[in-house]
Structure formats: C-alpha cells, structure tokens
Structure 1
Amino acid sequence: MTDIKACKVCNFTRQKSYGVVVPSLNELKKKGCEFLGLSPTDPVTVVLDNDGTIVEDQAYFLCLPSNTKFMLLHDKETWAPGHKIDGGTAWMARDSMLLDTDTVDTSSTAALWWDLAQQLKQDLTSIILMSEADLQSLVDAPHSELASALGFHEKKAQDLQETLQRVLDRKEEERQSKELLQLYLKAVEKEDRQQEEPSQAGTGDEDLPDGMEVDSASGFLSRTLMVLKGKTSPETRLSTEDLQMVVTRGVEAMQQVLGWNTAKTTALLQACEAELSTRLQQIQAMRSISSTQLDSSRQPSATSTKEAAETPTQGST
C-alpha cells in the first residue's frame, strides 16, 4: 500500500492555498484541481512553489518531504517568486499585485491535524492530553477531510469540531476567571501583610514571582495555599496533582497547614475528593468509550459468523 503524503497546493497567484493528503502525483493533480476550481480534465503542470521546479515523476514526488508546497499551473500561467527580488518585474506575471500569502498560509497545519486525527482514530482518550493549539487545529480542519481521516460521517466530524470549540471557549472563560481570582488573592494577601506585625511582614520577598515559593512547613507552593484559602471553590482551581496531595494529607494535617477548625477543613477535603473523583471518572469514561469502539471494530459481523457456522469442517462428509 502506498504511503499517503501531506502536501500544500496553491494556484499561480498564491491567493488560494489548501492542505491535501494524497498517495500519488496524479491524485495531487486531481485533488488540487478540485480545490482550486479547475476542471479535472484540464491539463495542469505541477511545480514546486519555492523555486518553480517542474514535478512530473512519481518517484521524485515520493522523495519530497511532507508538507511540501506545490503550485498548479493551468494554460498559459507561469511560475514567479512570491517576494520582490528583482525590483518588481516578477510581479508582472500576475494578474494583479498580490501579497505573498505564505505568511498567512491557512494550510500550514494540514500535517498537524492529520497526525492528531490519526491519534484519535487509534485512541479516543488521547484527546485529553492534547494542548489547546492541537484542539484548535482540529477545529480549523476542513470537516470533510477530518471526517475522512477519522472514518466518521461528515455530520459527526462537524459535531466533534463544535464540541471542541465549546471546550476551547470554556477554557478561555476559566482562564479569565482564574486571572480575576489571582488578582483578588493578591489583594487579600497584600491586605493581610499590612495587618501583620512588622517583624513578620518583613519575612516575605515581594520580588519573587507569585506562587513560586514553597512553604517549608507544609510542602505546598505558596500559590496553592493562597488558592486553598480563597473563598470561591478552591478545589476547581487546583491541578489534579495538588488535589491528590491535599486528599492524601488528611484532615488533621491540612487543619494545621491552613489553621482552620475541623469542620471547615473537613468540608474542604470533601470538596477536593469530589472534584478529584469527577476528573478520574471523566478519564475512565473516555477510556471506556475507546475500549467499546475498539471491541466493536474487532467483533465479526453476523453474516461472517453465519457463513463460518455453515462451512463444514475439514474431513466432514
């Protein structure tokens, strides 16, 4: 089976540029014509966008690295460099003086989202480990090609992209809320320092970045302690590692760290345990969905099972 190659394809003006995944030079021509609005029967010449080298050999095409950008020339169209390197004369080959779109090439993430789609196809739970940039590249991918890469119907791929966009929007809202909370905690900390005795107030180093000090007595980052002492659902602001650390310490130890009474400390630990349990259940649910899909793909169809049952074993009469 021929390996597929992630490429870029553009027209001679570079005004239109797309990311494609093809197994051969002929497929590149066919798909390129489709995206660029040319007839599949029209003769086109494939050249390298960076230097105009003509590509007409399949073996040479396969030797080129992934994400190579090609230009499709039709009729009397000619290649010219995208930058003004000769006083502007190269731009005369264009219908109009267009800026080089390489700096805003919308297909630059074609190979990235394709690799991410292959990861999701193998293991759906891998989406948990993806960065926001990875999720955004999946959202920006053409839903028809994303559906093909995932083996989904186009509607299902579009639903996935809409869900990922909502996740990104929620993350942005959480980030803004966290920034507001940090400003609030800084204001509270500053007010507390002003109320302390001069000898105690001088022990802190205000030049150090917020949250980077480790409290020697408790072992927690000072930022973590600030979040724990905040008034607005501190368990939702902590990382999973911090939640695990709080829960492991127990009520008595955390009571000494925070200086709270038993009832207030117990309520905090219960909230942390519930939040930690929720996150673990989400991961388990994703793994369960992935496992179910994998088992379903391996299960033989009813027709094949019936045919196997009706086939006589070797040596039967």
Structure 2
Amino acid sequence: MSELKPCKVCNYTRQKSYGLVVSSLDQLKVKGGETLGFTPDLPVSVVLEDDGTIVEDEAYFLCLPSNTKFMLLNEKERWAPSTKIDGGTAWLTRESRVLDSDTVDSALSGTEAWRDLASKLKQDLASIILFSEADLESLVNVSCDDLAAELGFGVSKAGDLQATLQRVLDRREEERQSKELLQLYLKAVEKEKEEQVPCQEGQEAADEPDGMEVDSSSGFSPRTLMVLKGKTSPETRLSNAELQMVVKEGASAMATVLGWDAERTSALLRACEEELNKRLEQVQAMQSLSVHSQNTSSSPEGDETQAKRKK
C-alpha cells in the first residue's frame, strides 16, 4: 500500500480550500473533486497553486513535500496568479495583507534567497526537481561568478548548471502552452461534434475516429488517444504512465483504435519508446548526480577545500 500524503486542495478562485490525505495522484483528483463539488463526469487537471506547474506524472507527485497546495481545475478553468484573480480584487476575500517594517525587511532579504537554494543544491543536486519556477529563475538570473562561489563549483560548471535550469524553465513553459492548446483543441472538437450530429446521423462509420469515445477493451484512455492523434511530437505530451501503456499495448492495438496504417503506427510507437527511455535515463542521471554530490560533500578533499576557502 502506498504511503499516505497530506496535502491541500483549492478551486481556481482560491475561495475554497481543504486538507486531504491521499496515496496517489488519481486519488487526489477523485477526493479533491468531490470535496470541491466538481461534476464527477468532467475531467480534472491538477496544478501547483503557487506557480501553476502542471502535475500529471505520478512519480513527480510522490516527490512533492507533504502539505503541498494543489489547485484542481475543470475543463474550462485556468490557473492564474492570486494577485490577478477577479480583476485584482480577490485579496479582499482573503486574509488581510498589512505591510509593516518586518514585511518590508523580508521582501528586501528575498533578493538573497537564491543562496538558500544554492545551499540545498550543494547538499543534493536531485532536490532541483522540487524547485518552483520562481526558484529556478532566481538561480538563472544570479551572477555566474556568485553562484560558482556559493556552490564551490568552477565558473564553467556553474554556467552549465544555469543553462540546464533555463532548459527546465523552457520545458515547463512548453508544457503549459501545450496544455492550453490541447484544451482549445478539445473545445473545438466538441463544438464541431455538436454541429455535425443533426446532419450526419447514421454516417459515423464513414468518419475517421476522433478518439473521444473508445471501447473499454481497447486499453487506451480517451485523453491518451487524443494526444496520440496530435500533429506535432505527441509522445512529449504523454505522462510516463501513458507512455508505458502505449508501449505495452503495441502497434497492433494502436493501429486498430487509431485507424492508421502499420507504418505510421510503428513510427509513433518508436517515438514513444525513445521518449520513455530518454526520461528513464534522465532519472538515472539525476540519481547519479545525487550520489556524486553526497560523496563529494563527505570526502576529505572537499573538507580541505572548504577549509582553504574560509582562510
């Protein structure tokens, strides 16, 4: 049995917020949707409340710390910063925010918050997967020389780290844009379907299947089929679990439900296998970096280098 994780959920207006204890991402969607009063038949997406990061991967969900706050969204709802909701007046319904001298001092000291993040990276490079976009941006924007000094790296290595962090930021932005485009596409498909029903009764067999209604025996979820039928690199928009399901079902099952020829289906299957292998390699590389970081911090040479720097 999976370990239970305490967390918080809210709706897109942030006016409803509840505490839950769940063991998986799917359970969070079900229990959170019921708690917030969502319609059971409508799809629910999960994002981080503070920065809108999309949470679709089960492994990433399990890596998040306890009491993380999630925002649950219906099909037509979108994440927005708390200061911009309701025309910038949503703060009136929340706790009063009073600026005093302590608040001003903490805001000024926030400019040095990147040092705390650098310290966490120095202890364990794998902790980067838990950083928010704001955290990553602060490390990217800091001087390369200052970051190198704080981490105990060479300037070149610190520059490579900043380049990697920037790629992570770019990928998160691409994922957010892909999610928005998919929602627009689904909305357009649904509208087109409603317009075609009155004039095309009895002709469904002549149309290409759109993947929205699939027999349960096919093994593919409606969302997976919709993404697979995307025109540009659909494999990059599937979660790890979905990629594993596609690879497991094989080309024959995909050709049947998608209505494609063997060559096109095989090409898509190879792309999914390559994407899954690439993600597995990234996880292994991150684990290697974590072990290397721990060995470096505990080695006598590292202690001697730190002693010389203090002098």
Q: TM-score, normalised by structure 1?
A: 0.47
Q: TM-score, normalised by structure 2?
A: 0.48
* Highest RCO, 1 vs 2 (Cα 8 Å, sep ≥ 6): 2
Greater radius of gyration (CA): 1
